[in-house]
């Protein structure tokens, strides 16, 4: 019999706040975390808005001399991990260290450091490059730093599967525990890629909203007037552990993780597969892994990026999974408030799904004002909703057709 795996901690940092409960409070209030970009000069950019983490003081979590060794995504991961560890009341003892692992993803990693050090090299030659350039940049160093700080010596890894990365990290961590390679995993993802090259690159693809005059209204998943996604930054981290381990140390589970699925579109480098085939397969694989039918799902936290094609195709996939019941299943996209955290999105949204189960309330899709005939589900428009939620499904889909989904169960 598979070992039961529970969530005992959630750490969230994003444009909607610094800290789990602050983020959750603002999401339920329908408060947007999107505004004008301040991290770089946008005067030459078509897109001038993003979901920045405001008032971030790295010194709260990282000593000044250590900060030069870290890209922004690492600082965000450390902050979210500390919130998650605090909620879980987790202290990694010498006895538990080899059985406690870290699995933290990022889609892009230290893009900010790459740009900074490249500019230094162009101005002064290779001798100007910082000796910390590589470790500040590579994706696995978020997991590396959290491991060093917590003393977790168990499985240590990172995924870089675009916008599915942190959902894959959580799912992989779940399976690591299930197969008895660890008892506890600190897992999720982080992204800190609001940079001139990153935003400029996504804009060159025509993927971003340019509703610059109304930043708070720019991310509008499933709305007929959506014109692209808004880049966000932040981190979402979960503490997963066996039920036995949680009970042994007196920790209170928040939810149980019961399903994980993966799929590939085998279709296009950026567009989702026609008819939502890949999204359909990943959701059904997750339900099959959990050994439950679609009828038990009470809420879907959608990938819902606010792109014209993506939202319509996810809607088709949800209809294929839930059939006649599809319009009765609430589906919301919290990216309407946080923006799209890229590789950090799945971790953030998994945490949000867990909190929805904890508090029995669904976060809204804000800016839903103009119904789209192609998007005709219940998107929890504009206002949070009290509901009975026993199972919550969280979707993440990435460039290259890499998909992940996670299923969480209410803890009672």
Q: Are 326 and 377 in contact (CB under 8 A)?
A: yes
Other Cβ atoms less than 10 A from the Cβ of 356: the count is: 29
- Distance between CA atoms of residues 391 and 173, nearest Å: 20
User: Quick one: how many helices (H) and strands (E) in the chain?
Assistant: 13, 15
Pairing of β 49-50 and β 35-36: antiparallel
- Distance between CA atoms of residues 298 and 387, nearest Å: 9
* Alpha helices (runs of H) in 207-276, residue ranges in sequence order: 243-248
Angle among Cα 277, 282, 287 to the nearest 5 degrees reads 125
Catalytic site positions? 163, 303, 340
End-to-end CA distance of the chain: 21
- Distance between CA atoms of residues 275 and 315, nearest Å: 10
- Distance between CA atoms of residues 46 and 27, nearest Å: 28
Other Cβ atoms less than 10 A from the Cβ of 179: the count is: 10
Residue 313 CA neighbour count, 13 Å, CB half: 20
Q: Which residues of 213-231 are buried (b: 16+ CB within 10 A; e: fewer)?
A: eebbbbbbbbbeebbbbbb
Which residues have C-beta within 8 Å of that of residue 355, sequence separation ≥ 6? Answer: 10, 20, 24, 254
C-alpha gyration radius of the chain: 20
For the chain, the 3-state helix, strand and coil shares in percent, each to the nearest 5, are 40, 20, 40
Q: Are 72 and 110 in contact (CB under 8 A)?
A: yes
Structure tokens at 37: 């970009």
For residue 182, the cross-strand partners are none
């Amino acid at each position: 019999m598979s070992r039961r795996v529970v969530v005992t901690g959630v750490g969230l940092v994003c444009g909607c706040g610094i800290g789990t409960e602050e983020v959750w409070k603002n999401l339920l209030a329908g408060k947007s975390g999107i505004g004008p970009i301040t991290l770089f000069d946008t005067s030459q950019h078509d897109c001038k808005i993003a979901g920045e983490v405001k008032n971030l003081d790295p010194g709260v979590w990282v000593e000044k001399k250590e900060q030069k060794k870290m890209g922004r995504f690492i600082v965000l991961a450390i902050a979210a991990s500390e919130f998650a560890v605090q909620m879980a009341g987790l202290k990694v003892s010498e006895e538990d260290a080899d059985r406690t692992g870290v699995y933290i993803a990022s889609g892009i990693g230290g893009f900010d450091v790459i740009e900074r050090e490249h500019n230094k090299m162009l101005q002064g030659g290779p001798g100007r490059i910082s000796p910390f350039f590589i470790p500040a940049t590579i994706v696995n160093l978020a997991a590396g730093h959290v491991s060093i700080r917590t003393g977790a010596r168990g499985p240590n890894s990172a995924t870089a599967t675009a916008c599915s990365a942190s959902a894959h990290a959580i799912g992989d961590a779940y399976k690591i525990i299930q197969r008895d390679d660890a008892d506890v995993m600190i897992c999720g993802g982080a992204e800190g890629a609001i940079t001139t090259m990153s935003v400029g690159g996504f804009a060159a693809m025509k993927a971003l909203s340019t509703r610059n005059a109304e930043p708070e209204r720019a991310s509008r998943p499933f709305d007929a007037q959506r014109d692209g996604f808004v880049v966000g930054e932040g981190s979402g981290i979960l503490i997963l552990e066996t039920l036995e381990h949680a009970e042994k140390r007196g920790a209170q589970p928040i939810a149980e993780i019961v399903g994980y699925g993966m799929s590939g579109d085998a279709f296009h480098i950026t567009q989702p597969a026609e008819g939502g085939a890949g999204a359909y397969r990943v959701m059904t694989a997750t339900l099959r892994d959990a050994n439950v039918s679609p009828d038990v799902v009470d809420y879907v936290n959608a990938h819902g990026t606010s792109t014209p094609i993506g939202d319509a195709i996810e809607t088709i996939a949800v209809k294929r999974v839930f059939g006649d019941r599809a319009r009765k299943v609430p589906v919301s996209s919290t990216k309407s408030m946080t923006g799209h955290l890229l590789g950090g999105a799945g971790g953030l949204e998994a945490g949000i799904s867990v909190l929805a189960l904890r508090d029995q309330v669904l976060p809204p899709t804000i800016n839903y004002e103009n119904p789209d005939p192609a998007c005709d589900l219940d998107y929890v428009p504009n206002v949070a909703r009290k509901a009975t939620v026993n199972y919550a499904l969280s979707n993440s889909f990435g460039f290259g057709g890499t998909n992940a989904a996670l299923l969480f169960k209410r803890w009672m």
